[in-house]
Amino acid sequence: MAIGSTLSEHLDAEVARDASLADTAKTILALAAASIDVSEICARGALAGDLGAQGETNSDGDVQKALDVIAHKRFTEALQSAPVAEVASEEADDVMVLNPGAPLAVAIDPLDGSSNIAVGMIVGTIFGIRPVVSDPSDPNASFKTPGTTQTAAGFTVYGPATTFVVTLGNGTRIFTLDRTDKVFRLTHDALKVVATANEYAINSSNGRHWDVPVKAFIEDCLRGEEGPRDRNFNMRWTAALVADAQRVLIRGGIFLYPGDGRKGYEQGRLRLLYETAPIAFVMEQAGASATDGQTRILDVVATKIHERSPLVFGSTDDVACVAKYYEGRQPAAGRSPLFGQRGLMRS
Ligand SMILES: O=P(O)(O)OC[C@H]1O[C@](O)(COP(=O)(O)O)[C@@H](O)[C@@H]1O
Ligand SMILES: [Mg+2]
Ligand SMILES: [Mg+2]
Spelled out in words, what is the top-level CATH class assigned to the domain 199-339?
alpha beta
CATH code, residues 7-188: 3.30.540.10
The model's pTM: 0.95
- 111 marked among binding-site residues: yes
- 289 marked among binding-site residues: no
Q: What is the ipTM of this complex?
A: 0.98
Cα–Cα nearest to 162, from 9, 27, 38, 70: 38
Return the number of other C-beta atoms located less than 10 Å from residue 45's C-beta. Answer: 11
Q: Is the dihedral of CA 307, 308, 310, 312 positive or negative?
A: positive
Report pLDDT digits (tens) over 191-231.
999 999 999 999 999 999 999 999 999 999 999 999 999 99
Report pLDDT digits (tens) over 84-95.
999 999 999 999
* Domain positions in the chain: 7-188, 199-339
* Ligand 1 within 6 A of CB of 247: no
C-alpha 345 – ligand 3 centre gap (Å): 39
List the alpha helices (DSSP H) in the chain. 7-17, 22-44, 66-80, 212-222, 241-251, 277-285, 316-326
Report pLDDT digits (tens) over 284-294.
999 999 999 99
C-alpha 128 – ligand 3 centre gap (Å): 14
* Ligand 1 within 6 A of CB of 204: no
